Amino acid sequence: MPKDIIIAIDGHSGFGKSSTAKSVAHALNYTYIDSGAMYRAVTLYLIRQQLDVSDIEAVKAALDQITISFTIKDGVGPPLYETYVNGENVEREIRGMAISDKVSEVSAIPQVRKAMVSQQRNMSANKRVVMDGRDIGTNVFPNAELKVFMTADLHERAYRRQKELKERGVSTALSDIVENLAERDQFDSTRRENPLVKAEDAVEIDTTNLKFNEQVAQVVALAQKAMQTS
Ligand code: DC
């Protein structure tokens, strides 16, 4: 009997990490949780409230007002995941550059991280979860049965992110995406709270020269092995 496991997928922004995680979850009949979407949702809420993010008391009060949820729509191919804040579908808005420009700053706030990590753990109480992010293998699930650390060359990532945005109907200059990704890499990897680092026991996959299906297949194979041996 294969064991139920938690699959933690961490890595930089913008090379299809989330799409990979979604397809892996679909292939295994597991639930996918997009932890980045949760930080984006908080960022959107704080921006809308015109809140000064350095005012920690105000941020803490705001966190109590935010309920984040996901819906899953089945169709052809991997299901469509959409993010909701207090019942409103914010999926499109949280992917825009206004949020991307601010989300690293918001996700570095310790109180924000604490609140999100607690929700992420609650959402995964029954295992059978694929969660992607920056600190999943190092902080959210240090005992995850499978940890994967995915990377890709910066320009390749920017190109893939541009394509993904275009598919969502958002057109953005490649140079803006390169700049945003490079800034976020730097910020996410050097912040004090749970920086993006590879967990010691994570399997690293460089996807620069891999096709999408190949990167999915590699993770699925690792997961199937972990289900037998964990
Ligand atoms: O995966 P993404 O690009 O949607 O993530 C948005 C931001 O959220 C990213 O710049 C860093 C932050 N993040 C984080 O700090 N921890 C996570 N587990 C996931 C995302």
Q: Comparing 79 with 183, which gets the higher pLDDT?
A: 183
Cα dihedral 163→133→135→32 (10° resolution): -160
Q: What's the CATH code of the domain at 29?
A: 3.40.50.300
Q: Tell me, what's the pLDDT at 36?
A: 95
Q: How far apart are CA 165 and CA 92, in angstroms?
A: 10
- Taking only the tens place, the pLDDT of each residue in 150-166 is 999 999 999 988 988 89
Pocket test for ligand 1, best of 103, 111, 131, 184 (most atoms within 8 A of CB): 103
Q: Tell me, what's the pLDDT at 188?
A: 86
Mean pLDDT is lowest, of 71-85, 102-116, 129-143, 172-186, for 71-85
Residues 6+ apart with CB under 8 A from 39: 103, 106, 107, 112, 116
pLDDT above 90 for 193 = no
How many Å lie between the centroid of ligand 1 and the Cα of residue 64? 20
Least Cα distance to 7 among 150, 116, 212 occurs for 150
Q: Tell me, what's the pLDDT at 146?
A: 98
Q: Tell me, what's the pLDDT at 201?
A: 97
Q: Tell me, what's the pLDDT at 75?
A: 75
User: Residue type for 213, please?
Assistant: N
What is the count of structural domains for the chain?
1
Identify the domain containing residue 198 by its residue range: 6-221
Q: How far apart are CA 230 and CA 223, in angstroms?
A: 10
